[in-house]
A = this chain, B = another copy of it.
Amino acid sequence: MSPKNAVDRNGLTEQKFLEVYDAGTFEHPSVTVDMLIFTVLNRAQDNYRKLPDKSLQLLLIKRGEHPFLGQWALPGGFVAVSESIEAAARRELYSETNIDNIYMEQLYTWGDVNRDPRTRVISCSYMALVDRSTLNVQAGDDADEAAWFEVGYEVIEEFRRETADGSELERLLRISLSSETDSLSGTVRILESVQGHVRQLKREIVESNGIAFDHVLMIQYAIERLRGKVEYTDIIFNLMPPLFTLSELQRVYEIILGKELLAAAFRRKIADAVTETEEFTKDAGHRPSKLYRYNQLRNFMP
């Protein structure tokens, strides 16, 4: 801080300045948080004694109000003036899950002028990763209807165009969300352009089916981030129960990355992220599998 008696160009000391300062001089936007709460769920297999299939799930809330009445939206709410954004996010997260100790990270702040038809709303999106086994409560404290949706993510088109001073890559991504009762979907266009050496990226909604606001964009962004981070951080263990088999872990990697991995290489790679225990799975109808836990002592930054 500057010395207490220093004066600014208007001849004010700091104390005088703060007294005079009027925060309400012009109109402010509203600020909200929107939560992307992901989990991994075991789906029972119809088949003989196969391993349970896993799926990535996202929590959505059915809107009981205008706008987008009846559509599904990310859980979220307003940031109070006396509350940090992160505190608001934690509050929302807790109100949906009733759990405290959950991994959460800020993703992106969405600031287009007309993203909310009511008024100017800026929304800061957060991603949370929960181990489903700790979630006994069926989410939703409030009267709102909440449900888990299985997430599908697919690149449906991708092509390059030449432009005046460079080129452009367009990708169309399809997000599909399905709960026990509802089936939603959306398409996002991502435009990456290079002009000279300057690269720019634009993201826009092509189509949104039952998903409120610009939340498809947020969902697409979150999945992209999750995919990216899974490769160079230990973020994935937030989705795992305390004890897990390497095959389970591999499956979670596979559903997030959207591709199959080779068991041998996979095991080599994550070897020092996990610690083996003395325990095994049982009654599986096949060879038991050793249980592992996350190795906390692993170096955070490689």
Contact = CB atoms under 8 A, between A and B. Distances in A.
Interface string A163-204: 000110100000000000000000000001011111111000
Interface in A12-31: 12-14, 17-18, 21, 23, 26-31
Contacts of A31: 28-29, 31, 111, 122
Interface string A94-119: 00000001110110110111000111
A84 interface: yes
Contacts of A169: 300
A69 B21 contact: no
A109 B112 contact: no
Interface stretch (A41-49, A146-154, A237-245): A237-245
Interface stretch (A1-9, A51-59, A258-266, A279-287): A1-9
A82 interface: yes
A149 B201 CA distance: 28
Interface residue tally on A, bucketed by range: 35 or more
A288 interface: no
A1 B122 contact: no
Counting every copy of the chain, the complex holds 2
A202 to B, nearest CB: 10
A251 interface: no
A111 B106 CA distance: 11
B81 A27 contact: yes
A93 interface: no
A150 B110 CA distance: 32
A6 B70 contact: yes
Given A2-B66, A29-B79, A196-B242, 12 more contacts: A1-B67, A8-B66, A13-B66, A17-B66, A17-B67, A28-B28, A82-B113, A84-B113, A106-B108, A111-B124, A197-B242, A199-B300
